[in-house]
Amino acid sequence: MVRKQTRAGWTEWVGIVTCAESSQQQVRRTSDTQTNTASTPAANLSAKGEKLRDDMDALIEEIDEVLEENAEEFVKNYVQRGGE
Amino acid sequence: MHGFEYGGVMALPKILGSETEYGLTVQNDPEFDSIATSLLLVNSYNADQSLKLLWDYDQEDPMVDARGFELDDEYDIPDHQDNMAINKILPNGARFYVDHAHPEFSTPECSNVLDLIRYEKAGERILNLSRLGANQLIPNGRTIIIYKNNSDQKGNSYGYHENYLLDRRTPFQTIAERFMPFLVSRQIYCGAGKVGSENGAEHVPYQISQRADFFETEMGLDTMVKRPIINTRDEPHANRDRYRRLHVIIGDANMSEFTTYLKVGTALVVLQMIEDGFLPEPLVLRNPVRALRDISHDPTCKVAVPMKNGSKMTAIDIQRWYHEAAQRYIGQYPDCHATYPTVVAEWGFVLERLASDPMQLFREIDWVMKLHLLTNYMERRGSSWDDPRIAMMDLQYHDIRPEKGLYYVLERGGAARRMLMEEDIVRSMDDPPEDTRAYFRGQCLKKFKSQIFGVNWDSISFNLGDGPIKRIMMEEPTRGTKHHVQQLLDRSETAADLVANIVT
């Protein structure tokens, strides 16, 4: 579950994020064809769910490796002049 | 207001292009100078072959307003030396230059959405090569970093502009009225996503668009202050009697190929319907500026905004209205354009998913891809929106370095839906599109570069050594294609031959 924010009115918002872990997502995530959302036998779902979680765990690990150090300082120093 | 003729497909071919202003920083440089770094970047691409030629400002009129008046603001034209330093015209027909304090890449003129995304992505690769070259020229320990986004999160925004060539006969007001609700609502499938809000907008943890907080008026000439939803700049870079160039400044720069495809593809279909009189009774928003912000601030895509007729519509409702018209349009005119039926099918697919659960689009749409990544990160690391790493990820999603950019991490992991083959992107860094005037520009740069004096979108001029500069006008963007000029190029050994062969 995604941590719920304390700010009122955000519960529904967090809800849509949680939906990303739904079974339909798991099917699509492991498939190369984007439009293939056909139902998969329920028995396969938990296995696919685990695969999805593992993929996401690996992705988050990689993010931590590439993320700039001293995030707070880095973001503070990123100042642009307006353009266009 | 819509008293023009309604008939079959009459619309002229929609030539298009995009301009991306990139964000920029230098790590470990306390005196970072954005203008000097932009200059260094623009001059570091393919430096040994760098072309010493001018951008021809004679043809530019950025102060002319589509509603019929002209500002007399001063418009600075750089001197020759500065001109050559800040402008590079590339053999693929693109322009790579310094705009204010940012490096900017304008794609060559394209005839369809797939070419547009190919050249826009080639632009990212070109910026990255420039970055690698420029890094060799700055002190050790410093690194130039480039972001394809639109905000520094401190109230400063820089642009991403789309350009669509339209028929001068379609009244500007007709275009503006019918395009406005489309632009306000399309962000639900083309926003790049942003943590927090800016520019005095009320606080939200996350919003759909990078740019929505910065738009303050409905229509106008400005791009840097009081930004308008409909920009009225009337500078066609083409035959002024025949064409106008709609300059769309409201879009986010996208990392996702699919998101860019949908953003540009749907705009093309809607503009063509407008020109063909297929939207006779437009939807009218009561307050477009407010609606833009309210829609951006609601990632559930459920907020309904007031319409002038007293009803309320969600962004999905508004988009469905346009999408249903588009389905009727391609049903009635199946030959309207080879790319449109697929665009309209994908558009429908995306609207369905936005209506049932936007998070299903976590491989397709930038703002959803980013939100999905951030929420999963927070869940696993036990952090929240105020974690500085979340703001860092929001920025780093747009880092154009393949090894560091978080979009590219997703792409490598198969978590981003792609539209292009990598080899087509690489090829597009050097070769111009074959079916617009960009072909002639690009091939001239390849073949006669030492004799080219100056270039603009609609002209190219040669210095033949003796006599005056010879300027060739290219006022028709659909000409100068491979089909039109290949024979001419083949039988012209030198620029002098070329000029002689054109004149005779």
Q: Is B377 on the interface with A (CB under 8 A)?
A: yes
Of A13, A28, A82, the CB nearest to B224: A82
pLDDT at A7 over 90: no
Kindly list the residues from chain A whose CB atom is less than 8 angstroms away from the CB atom of residue B349.
34-35
Q: Which of B429, B502, B500, B504 is nearest to B467 (CA)?
A: B500
Q: How far apart are CA B163 and CA B24, in angstroms?
A: 24
* Distances, alpha carbon B478 to alpha carbons B14, B116, B314, in Å: 9, 15, 38
Interface touch A19/B409, C-beta < 8 Å: no
pLDDT at A43 over 70: no
**What pLDDT, on the 0 to 100 scale, is given for residue B475?**
94
**What pLDDT, on the 0 to 100 scale, is given for residue B72?**
57
Q: How far apart are CA B115 and CA B121, in angstroms?
A: 10
E-assigned strands of B155-300? 160-167, 194-195, 206-207, 215-220, 227-231, 243-248
Q: How far apart are CA B282 and CA B177, in angstroms?
A: 7
Per-residue confidence band for A38, with pLDDT thresholds at 50, 70 and 90? very low
pLDDT at B197 over 80: yes
Q: How near does any CA of chain B get to the CA of A36, in Å?
A: 11
> What is the SS3 assignment for B447?
helix
Of A17, A68, A80, the CB nearest to B359: A17
pLDDT at B467 over 90: no
Maximum Cα interatomic distance, chain A, rounded to a whole number of Å: 55
Q: How far apart are CA B202 and CA B213, in angstroms?
A: 9
Q: How far apart are CA B41 and CA B314, in angstroms?
A: 43
**What pLDDT, on the 0 to 100 scale, is given for residue A1?**
34
Amino acid at B323: H
Kindly list the residues from chain B whose CB atom is less than 8 angstroms away from the CB atom of residue A81.
34, 100-102, 156
Of A16, A66, A75, the CB nearest to B395: A75
**What pLDDT, on the 0 to 100 scale, is given for residue B46?**
78
Per-residue confidence band for B48, with pLDDT thresholds at 50, 70 and 90? low
| pLDDT, mean of residues A56-81 | 95
Domain boundaries along the sequence of chain B: 16-425, 434-503
Tokens read off for A17? 């994020």
Kindly list the residues from chain B whose CB atom is less than 8 angstroms away from the CB atom of residue A78.
23, 25, 152-154, 395
Q: Which of B479, B470, B457 is nearest to B62 (CA)?
A: B457
For chain B, positions 235-264, list CB contacts with chain A under 8 A: 249
Interface touch A71/B389, C-beta < 8 Å: yes
Segment B447-453 long-range contacts (CB within 8 Å, at least 24 positions apart): B447/B489, B447/B492, B448/B494, B448/B495, B448/B498, B449/B51, B449/B53, B451/B494, B451/B495, B451/B496, B452/B51, B452/B53, B452/B495, B453/B53, B453/B54
Q: How far apart are CA B97 and CA B42, in angstroms?
A: 6
* Residues in a beta bridge with B146: B24
Q: What are phi and psi of B320, to 5 degrees?
A: -65, -35
pLDDT at A15 over 60: no
State pTM to two decimals.
0.90
Which of A16, A34, A80 has the highest number of chain B CBs within 10 A, making it the mutation to test binding with B? A80
Q: How near does any CA of chain A get to the CA of B328, in Å?
A: 22
**What pLDDT, on the 0 to 100 scale, is given for residue B204?**
97
Number of other residues whose CB lies within 10 A of the CB of residue B216? 17
| pLDDT, mean of residues B24-52 | 86
Q: Is B200 exposed, middle or buried (0-12, 13-18, 19+ CB in 10 A)?
A: exposed
Q: What is the mean pLDDT of chain B?
A: 93
Interface touch B157/A83, C-beta < 8 Å: yes
pLDDT at B274 over 80: yes
Interface touch B24/A80, C-beta < 8 Å: yes
> What is the SS3 assignment for B147?
strand
The rounded percent of chain B whose pLDDT value lies above 90 is 84
Kindly list the residues from chain A whose CB atom is less than 8 angstroms away from the CB atom of residue B403.
66
Which of A25, A53, A84 has the highest number of chain B CBs within 10 A, making it the mutation to test binding with B? A84
Segment B226-230 long-range contacts (CB within 8 Å, at least 24 positions apart): B227/B157, B229/B180, B229/B183, B229/B184, B229/B288, B229/B289, B229/B292, B230/B176, B230/B179, B230/B180, B230/B183
B99 in catalytic set: yes
Instruction: Tell me the pLDDT tens digit for each residue of B116-134.
Output: 999 999 999 999 999 999 9
Number of other residues whose CB lies within 10 A of the CB of residue A11? 10
pLDDT at A20 over 80: no
pLDDT at B41 over 90: yes
- The answer to which of B9-18, B57-66, B350-359, B407-416 has the lowest mean pLDDT is B57-66
| pLDDT, mean of residues B363-382 | 97
Q: How far apart are CA B286 and CA B306, in angstroms?
A: 6
Maximum Cα interatomic distance, chain B, rounded to a whole number of Å: 74
Interface touch A12/B300, C-beta < 8 Å: yes
**What pLDDT, on the 0 to 100 scale, is given for residue B70?**
63
Q: How near does any CA of chain A get to the CA of B113, in Å?
A: 20
**Residues 6 or more apart whose Cβ sits within 8 Å of residue B466:** none
In this structure, are residues B327 and B319 in contact, taking their beta carbons and an 8 Å threshold?
A: no
Per-residue confidence band for B9, with pLDDT thresholds at 50, 70 and 90? low
Q: Which of B444, B440, B445 is nearest to B474 (CA)?
A: B440
Kindly list the residues from chain B whose CB atom is less than 8 angstroms away from the CB atom of residue A61.
none
**What pLDDT, on the 0 to 100 scale, is given for residue A33?**
40
**Residues 6 or more apart whose Cβ sits within 8 Å of residue B483:** B434, B435
Q: Could you please state the CATH topology (level 3) that the domain comprising B16-425 is classified under.
A: Creatine Kinase; Chain A, domain 2 (3.30.590)
Q: How near does any CA of chain A get to the CA of B383, in Å?
A: 8
| pLDDT, mean of residues B246-265 | 98
**What pLDDT, on the 0 to 100 scale, is given for residue B1?**
35
Of B156, B372, B391, the CB nearest to A81: B156
